[in-house]
Amino acid sequence: MQQTAEFLFAIGGILLLGLATDFLGRRTFLPRVTLLLAFGIIVGDEVLGIIPTSVSSRFEMITVMALMMIGFLLGGKLTLKSIRNTGRQIAWISISAALGTTMLVTLALLAVGVPQEIAILLGCIAAATAPAATVDIVLESGSNSLFSRLLLAIVAIDDAWALILFSLGLSLISLMNGTQGIFASLLDVSYEIGGAVLLGTLIGLPAALLTGRLKPGHPMLTEALGVVFICGGAAIWLDVSFLVATMVMGAVVTNLARHHEYPFHEIENIEWPFMVVFFMLAGASLDISMLAGLGMVGTIYLLSRAAGKLLGAWIGARASHADKQVRRWMGMAMMPQAGVAIGMALLAASHFPEYRQTVLSLVIGTTVFFELVGPVFTRMALRHAHRVSPE
């Protein structure tokens, strides 16, 4: 019973602290994501160490549940109308930002003497962004502008490009080292993304038809969460991307469920408590000491990744004839980076154990920086690109 009491007390305290961060976020320049991460650091092992094991041991499960809902919400932004209106911009900016970041980070690291295998791996990892932080900042701002909708659509597919680039990087390094399995990583990512798309479609089709029937006009919370968790659980069981699967399912539902107007309304109502716990525990798990050990290579990585996002998004926006607001601010809005990058680093370490220490220490350290500071830049970008588009 003692462990149960600790768990309930900690969750209750985290949720109430979430209310405080929401209050502070509305009155300071810091977004509530950054505030939650900062408070998580304070209550975590780095400072006070008051998060009980009964809570921290469930971090992975809470993370997966939160990201499933994020994927579903992002998929809801990929309507046929938005794709017809901005599909060219979504494709150009997302691809250009991912490629530009990978190329610039790789070249910058090579220029300062980093071994080419490590430079390629880090360049590919740098393309990843943080969908959870970006979604929360947009929801917090209440923005429904063309810019914010375009940002969410770009973030929705951005990590898919990062996974593809990462698989290509692994294959290239395997080729350079003369190891077997040159195309194995390509097959893996094809299965991971292609399988997720198929799964999301197969679950999304009946969900689009059946949801919202019990309460005409709106889907109930139980059925909304039910289809999200079934899709995510099936994705994990099949070893495909649960984020892509739930995103595809969300896109299918929002485009085919004609009998209800707001298929994601109930998920939005329940999503914030999960996000509070998720970001607080993420902050508690951050190792701030990693920042001190970044050194020159880490600084080059930070600067070149930021420059890659800015330049890549600008090139994509210009090529797609996007307006001035998008050209100027979209790259800044894409700065956050979190769990996907660390997942790639762990995968790279398993493929190439000889690079494990360098890759993991650098990626974890820089992710701490981008996870804390990136949301601030996203919020700044949203505030400057505040033009509201017509519905």
Buried b (16+ CB within 10 A) or exposed e, 82-102: bbeebeebbbbbbbbbbbbbb
How does DSSP classify residue 353?
G
Q: What is the pLDDT of residue 107?
A: 92
CA angle centred on 306, ends 304 and 309, rounded to 5°: 105
Quick one: how many helices (H) and strands (E) in the chain?
Answer: 17, 0
In the CATH scheme, what is the code of domain 2-384? 1.20.1530.20
Q: What is the pLDDT of residue 391?
A: 40
Kindly indicate the confidence band of residue 354, based on its pLDDT and cuts at 50, 70 and 90. Answer: confident
CA nearest neighbour of 285 among 58, 10, 23, 16: 58
Half-sphere exposure of 273 (CA within 13 A, CB side): 8
What average pLDDT does range 8-32 have in this prediction? Answer: 74
Q: What is the pLDDT of residue 199?
A: 92
Rounded CA separation 87/349 (Å):
36
Longest CA pairwise span in the chain (Å): 63
Rounded CA separation 357/351 (Å):
13
Q: Is 222 exposed, middle or buried (0-12, 13-18, 19+ CB in 10 A)?
A: exposed
Total-model pTM: 0.74
**Any idea which of 54-63, 179-188, 311-320 has the lowest mean pLDDT?**
179-188
Rounded CA separation 370/376 (Å):
10
Query: At CB < 8 A and 24+ separation, what contacts does 291-296 make?
Result: 291/365, 291/368, 291/369, 293/361, 293/365, 294/362, 294/365, 294/366, 294/369, 296/112
Which amino acid belongs to residue 184?
A
Rounded CA separation 297/362 (Å):
8
Q: Which residue has the tokens 């017509």?
A: 390
> Where do the structural domains in the chain lie, given as residue ranges?
2-384
What average pLDDT does range 361-368 have in this prediction? Answer: 76
Rounded CA separation 71/160 (Å):
12
Rounded CA separation 41/20 (Å):
16
Q: What is the pLDDT of residue 261?
A: 52
Q: Which residue has the tokens 């899709």?
A: 231
Cβ atoms of 338 and 97 closer than 8 Å: no
For residue range 137-176, list pLDDT tens digits in order.
887 777 677 788 888 888 877 777 887 888 777 777 777 7
Kindly indicate the confidence band of residue 89, based on its pLDDT and cuts at 50, 70 and 90. Answer: confident
Buried b (16+ CB within 10 A) or exposed e, 300-331: bbbebbbbbbbbbbbbbbeebebeebbbbbbb
